[in-house]
């Protein structure tokens, strides 16, 4: 359950160093951290429901946001549609999100190792067998629980982009 309802989105978008200091405070206070990651290029209902469910799994939710350069490597040269700063700001504005950190790698292995989340969440299109092997090894190394949250049918960034590209006759 989030406890940062009155913080501005700008305050919730931080560097890894700041997130690590926050993480240490959480540990000292016996608070659990859930972490998830993604591009979150066009925020839609599926994302919001996913993040709300993720936040229910621990005391605080940190979202790792792929930087623009890593989104291009993952999704192609026409993406992202929204800048990393804008995507992180919109995510941080959600009640369920306590903090966001932008990262430049395609995978968040280094972030997992540094943050040592109690719980790590992936979308329902993943299974324990399809998570990136380096990320999975990092999660096992920090003893994080791995949870999968089903997608909301009919909601995806690609689907939204495709709808926007439909021309009226």
Note the pLDDT tens digit of each residue in 110-162: 999 999 999 999 998 889 999 999 999 999 999 999 999 987 666 565 566 55
Q: Which of 149, 165, 162 is nearest to 47 (CA)?
A: 149
Buried b (16+ CB within 10 A) or exposed e, 98-117: bbbbbbeeebbbebbebbbb
**Residue 114 belongs to domain with CATH number:** 3.40.50.620
Q: Domain span at residue 65?
A: 16-161
Q: Quick one: tokens of 16? A: 């890894």
User: What's this model's pTM, rounded to 2 decimal places?
Assistant: 0.88
Structural domains in the chain (count): 1
Asked, for residue 135, whether it belongs to a domain, the answer is yes
With respect to residue 93, please indicate whether it lies within any of the assigned structural domains: yes
Q: How far apart are CA 79 and CA 83, in angstroms?
A: 9
Instruction: List CB contacts of 40: < 8 A, sequence separation 6 or more.
Output: 47, 63, 65, 87, 90, 91
pLDDT score for 164: 66
Residue 71 falls within a domain, yes or no? yes
């Amino acid at each position: 359950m989030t406890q940062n309802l009155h913080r501005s989105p700008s305050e919730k978008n931080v560097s890894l160093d700041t997130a690590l200091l926050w993480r240490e405070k959480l540990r000292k206070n016996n608070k659990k951290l859930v972490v998830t990651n993604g591009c979150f290029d066009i925020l839609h209902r599926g994302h919001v429901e996913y993040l709300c469910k993720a936040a229910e799994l621990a005391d605080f939710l940190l979202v790792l946001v792929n930087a623009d350069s890593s989104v291009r490597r993952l999704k192609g040269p026409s993406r992202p549609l929204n800048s990393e700063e804008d995507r992180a700001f919109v995510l941080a504005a959600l009640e369920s999100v306590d903090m966001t950190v932008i990262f430049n790698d395609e995978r968040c292995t280094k972030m997992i190792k540094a943050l040592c989340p109690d719980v790590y969440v992936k979308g329902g299109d993943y299974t324990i067998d399809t998570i990136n092997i380096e990320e999975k090894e990092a999660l096992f190394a920090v003893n994080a629980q791995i949870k999968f949250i089903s997608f909301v049918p009919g909601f995806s960034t690609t689907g939204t982009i495709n709808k926007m590209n439909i021309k009226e006759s």
